[in-house]
Structure 1
């Protein structure tokens, strides 16, 4: 809601203190904020900021807890470009789409209705009359009416019909998708029953603007069928395909796509000879994914990467032949790498992690879940500070301990997110991350320190952590006292997960609600010692709350109580 008249004097004072910048400058500043939730405090500063933050909100996810407020939100955020319906939404989807169509949203061009129980044919017809120029539609895991889609939205440029099961598949459906949607640039047909060799060839013939194509898990497609079809679209830039065995027929088709920069062959079988054949084709990849691929080895991947000087994204998860020596040699070829994923490779240790940080100076994200990071204790010349690294995923590393995590915190000063889920020997090390990484915003610490004796486990934060917004402490052995200290230090928390923290009570929860004035979500599933009365108290004590995962003892007194909570803007999930 807009600032009230009673706050006009304070708004005037704030306006007086604001630099006299044009609205365009303020908009540019606000757009750099990482999450829409960060705009709320700004919207309360002054009427001018309220208006600006309304204008720059472009995405809206509609779930149960915002349904009562939907009309107000659609009137407020008139520059929305995309709307998504959550899969478990408890609403008549046809009526909901008709309701959205009654509002003036001139910039809306993307709709996500994936994972819905029924396909909203009536609602989409009504929706299309208001938004005939819709550019993106996601109806994954539904039973879509392809004829209706092609009739209602002929201007679509992106469509996701993956894992769809139309009630019938006929030539009419294929023709509708192929000829009725001639502007398509990005298509996901993974697991779709509408896609056999003949229909896929027809699609590629007709989609003359196609640039990105995903066809994973299509049992009706053969390698020759895919090869023949993609040759019809030499301008393809991105291709994701899963094959039981990638043979030369497909390789020859791939190398004919001279604009191809993104290739995903995850869960396929591909030989070293095939990878070298791709390298000989001279393709200049920026993204490459071989996650859980079989048959190839180090000679094949090293041969391919020697020509990938511009590679920015590399996924080699589940590549069992990889070891530290391989990663050391490959990293020398990857000077422009931004993201690397190496999870599920048990032969990789700290040496691989620190080598990537040293040899790939532009790296921003490293995923090494379920590896052997922590097994080697490195020091000296092996440790190099990397100021670019922002996202570090180290879940399920059984060797990782406090010393290893503290060492990482010392060389990654600009971390924004770290995942230490199931790192069962870590407790104080996580606190060192909070202390040393002043930009940390998201920490996942589920099952933290579960292998430590109780007297060794400690999670006492007694210093300010001003921009930590998301914290997962599920199944941690924290007490009310520790939780109170966390809430005082991490007072800007927006999301807190305390599932199955069996030592905490409502006293600790009340301290969190009291200290964290921007809290939007708190989850208390399995918290046996938290009484049910605290749910209603939280909703009325902290108006910012939007979702509560209720403790086991909680049950709605009646339907009226649930409606009351929703009117207060908070959804309570049992």
Structure 2
């Protein structure tokens, strides 16, 4: 798109431009357009609904909050340090549509900051507080008083403390105040017990989704009480240990369920009896997660899929009992399957992948990380092609060969996401073949694929947006070709690429007009100093984030200078 003048922008009514902007794939596409003219900037700013706030952005936060009036979500999870001043700035801003705040990964919560936020945004709908190091009961009480209209709350996986943490008292007070709560995740809080689960089920009439994974003192009795007391529960994620006398009570409880569409029993020890109870329940099951679960046999799985043929999402990661024959039986039943994860299942081979593409016409996502994909004798004419599959992750298959990869991508010709990282046997020839066979690929992962010397990209790749190539054998010449042929490339991840030098980085920056992020961490032969950075920013205005190699010394004032011009430089 050529740079139109302000007069040219006015040739179309604003409503037409708004419709065009609405068709863009992501908010990242708005930024270059906002530099074209004032009208484009106004439209782009009005469409911006989310903002992530790392430390480097905080000096510019007032102007950004003033500029983006349509923000619905603010993410402070990348921020490190005392976040009071940031919350204060947000509280002083005028964001009438703000409904979601993410404060994950903080050392502790600043209750004074939350109260300031509550004075302006008491109607906040979603609050995410995952992985707070020092989360305690008084934090939950402050949240309950400050944000009484919360609908979704995540307080999962705080840092373990031997002396303090969230207890049943805090969760109970929370449940009594948040009457609109529809979703809560308490996973990983080690001091809560059955009392917390019971309080939430009794006090929160709108509760539909609940997560209590990795809470050691939650028993099957409380889970059974929850299911019986909340027959309209939609999503349940718990760990189940089936070695107690109360286990029978849990098995019987599923007869009371009516609305369960998502069940997550990951890392549980469960029996066929429990799975068969779920199979017999009259529930609209759409998602079943048994990741790293054990204790059952294929008979239990078979009962569920036979009775709930509307299942769309399956996660059987590390369910090591599964075989190709069993997976074929599942595929023939679940014709509406859209996503499956059978990673870390060592008995599964190419036959399972072919079964999936043959029998599941709606399938969009397949994960077979670290399985047993290898050379086979399948006739290419007999390999079914599924044009619905968009995402395929087959990384860490150490026996995957070029020929095997060629057959697999023939089965998925419309791929947009492919990860073959850590597949040591594949070469540049097969990677090149993939790109020719699947021209719609937007995201390619080839991390730690060392045998790339034969990779010769002499054809256009207009769809490729993200290339993850950490520890790969890419060299300067190949990187330059990528820059010339990938006209829409936005992100390059190149950590530990030891065959690259500053020359290759200059080449890709010169030619790749859409590049927004480049990661050069641990690229020991790439020398990036202030002069090289200044040149990169000048020659490639689209760049917004540059991760420099270790040993590149930049002062804080130099980093601030780049940040003031919209470029985040980090190491």
The TM-score normalised by the length of structure 1 is 0.92
Q: Which residue of 1 aligns with 2:27?
A: 36
Q: Tell me by how many angstroms 1:380 deviates.
A: 4.0
Q: Which residue of 1 aligns with 2:349?
A: 349
For structure 1, which segment, 379-388 or 459-468, has the greater mean C-alpha deviation from structure 2 after superposition? 379-388
Contact 1:354 1:382 in 2 (8 A): no
Q: Which residue of 2 aligns with 1:4?
A: none
User: Over residues 126-174 of structure 1, what are the superposed CA-to-partner deviations in whole Å (9 max), with x where a residue is unaligned?
Assistant: 1111101001111122215111101100000000111236946567524
Q: Tell me by how many angstroms 1:304 deviates.
A: 1.0
Counterparts of 2:38 and 2:558 in 1: how far apart (Å)?
34
Counterparts of 1:422 and 1:171 in 2: how far apart (Å)?
44
- The match for 1:199 among 196, 199, 203 is 196
Show structure 1 runs of 5+ residues with no match.
Answer: 1-6
- The match for 1:105 among 84, 95, 99 is 95
Q: From the superposition, tell whether residues 240 and 528 of structure 1 become closer, same or farther in structure 2 (CA, over 3 Å).
A: same
Q: Does 1:516 align with 2:512?
A: yes
Contact 1:539 1:568 in 2 (8 A): no
Q: Does 1:147 align with 2:141?
A: yes
- The match for 1:93 among 61, 69, 83 is 83
For structure 1, which segment, 171-180 or 254-263, has the greater mean C-alpha deviation from structure 2 after superposition? 171-180
Counterparts of 2:6 and 2:351 in 1: how far apart (Å)?
55
Give 3-state SS (helix, strand or coil) of 2:184's partner: strand
Number of equivalenced pairs:
556
Q: From the superposition, tell whether residues 384 and 47 of structure 1 become closer, same or farther in structure 2 (CA, over 3 Å).
A: farther
Give 3-state SS (helix, strand or coil) of 2:288's partner: strand
Q: Tell me by how many angstroms 1:213 deviates.
A: 0.4
Q: Which residue of 1 aligns with 2:232?
A: 235
Contact 1:460 1:486 in 2 (8 A): no
Q: Which residue of 2 aligns with 1:541?
A: 539
Q: Which residue of 2 aligns with 1:399?
A: 399
Q: Which residue of 2 aligns with 1:3?
A: none
Contact 1:65 1:546 in 2 (8 A): no
Q: Tell me by how many angstroms 1:14 deviates.
A: 4.7
Counterparts of 1:154 and 1:250 in 2: how far apart (Å)?
32
Give 3-state SS (helix, strand or coil) of 2:5's partner: helix
Q: Which residue of 2 aligns with 1:441?
A: 442
User: Over residues 380-435 of structure 1, what are the superposed CA-to-partner deviations in whole Å (9 max), with x where a residue is unaligned?
Assistant: 45312211111100000112122222233333232111111101122222222222
Q: Which residue of 2 aligns with 1:531?
A: 527
Q: Which residue of 2 aligns with 1:430?
A: 431
Q: From the superposition, tell whether residues 555 and 377 of structure 1 become closer, same or farther in structure 2 (CA, over 3 Å).
A: farther
Q: Which residue of 1 aligns with 2:256?
A: 256
Q: Does 1:339 align with 2:339?
A: yes
User: Over residues 22-80 of structure 1, what are the superposed CA-to-partner deviations in whole Å (9 max), with x where a residue is unaligned?
Assistant: 73x76565445332212234434554443332222211111134333322322222111
Q: Does 1:276 align with 2:302?
A: no
Counterparts of 2:435 and 2:41 in 1: how far apart (Å)?
32
Q: Which residue of 1 aligns with 2:222?
A: 225
Counterparts of 1:512 and 1:377 in 2: how far apart (Å)?
40
- The match for 2:75 among 84, 98, 114 is 84
- The match for 1:553 among 542, 551, 554 is 551
Give 3-state SS (helix, strand or coil) of 1:332's partner: helix
Q: Which residue of 1 aligns with 2:455?
A: 459
Contact 2:251 2:273 in 1 (8 A): no
Contact 1:65 1:569 in 2 (8 A): no
The correspondence of residues 32-431 of structure 1 with structure 2, limited to 5 A, is: 32-45=23-36, 47-87=38-78, 89-142=79-132, 143-144=135-136, 145-164=139-158, 167=164, 173-193=170-190, 195-245=192-242, 247-426=247-426, 427-431=428-432
Counterparts of 1:86 and 1:521 in 2: how far apart (Å)?
19
Counterparts of 2:568 and 2:394 in 1: how far apart (Å)?
32
Counterparts of 2:324 and 2:167 in 1: how far apart (Å)?
52
Q: Which residue of 1 aligns with 2:8?
A: 13
Counterparts of 1:374 and 1:422 in 2: how far apart (Å)?
14
User: Over residues 502-546 of structure 1, what are the superposed CA-to-partner deviations in whole Å (9 max), with x where a residue is unaligned?
Assistant: 111101000111111222211111111111323343234333322
Contact 2:254 2:277 in 1 (8 A): no
Counterparts of 1:301 and 1:70 in 2: how far apart (Å)?
51
Contact 2:81 2:106 in 1 (8 A): no
Q: From the superposition, tell whether residues 471 and 377 of structure 1 become closer, same or farther in structure 2 (CA, over 3 Å).
A: farther
User: Over residues 359-399 of structure 1, what are the superposed CA-to-partner deviations in whole Å (9 max), with x where a residue is unaligned?
Assistant: 00000000001011233242245312211111100000112
Give 3-state SS (helix, strand or coil) of 2:274's partner: helix
Q: From the superposition, tell whether residues 170 and 404 of structure 1 become closer, same or farther in structure 2 (CA, over 3 Å).
A: closer
Q: Which residue of 1 aligns with 2:471?
A: 475
Q: From the superposition, tell whether residues 54 and 552 of structure 1 become closer, same or farther in structure 2 (CA, over 3 Å).
A: same
Show structure 2 runs of 5+ residues with no match.
Answer: none
Q: What RMSD, in angstroms, separates the aligned Cα atoms of the two structures?
A: 2.1
Q: From the superposition, tell whether residues 46 and 573 of structure 1 become closer, same or farther in structure 2 (CA, over 3 Å).
A: closer
Q: From the superposition, tell whether residues 69 and 541 of structure 1 become closer, same or farther in structure 2 (CA, over 3 Å).
A: farther
The TM-score normalised by the length of structure 2 is 0.92
Counterparts of 2:544 and 2:58 in 1: how far apart (Å)?
12
Give 3-state SS (helix, strand or coil) of 1:392's partner: strand
Q: Tell me by how many angstroms 1:285 deviates.
A: 0.6
Q: From the superposition, tell whether residues 223 and 481 of structure 1 become closer, same or farther in structure 2 (CA, over 3 Å).
A: same
Give 3-state SS (helix, strand or coil) of 2:334's partner: coil
For structure 1, which segment, 328-337 or 377-386, has the greater mean C-alpha deviation from structure 2 after superposition? 377-386
Counterparts of 2:569 and 2:18 in 1: how far apart (Å)?
34
Q: From the superposition, tell whether residues 274 and 466 of structure 1 become closer, same or farther in structure 2 (CA, over 3 Å).
A: same
For structure 1, which segment, 376-385 or 411-420, has the greater mean C-alpha deviation from structure 2 after superposition? 376-385
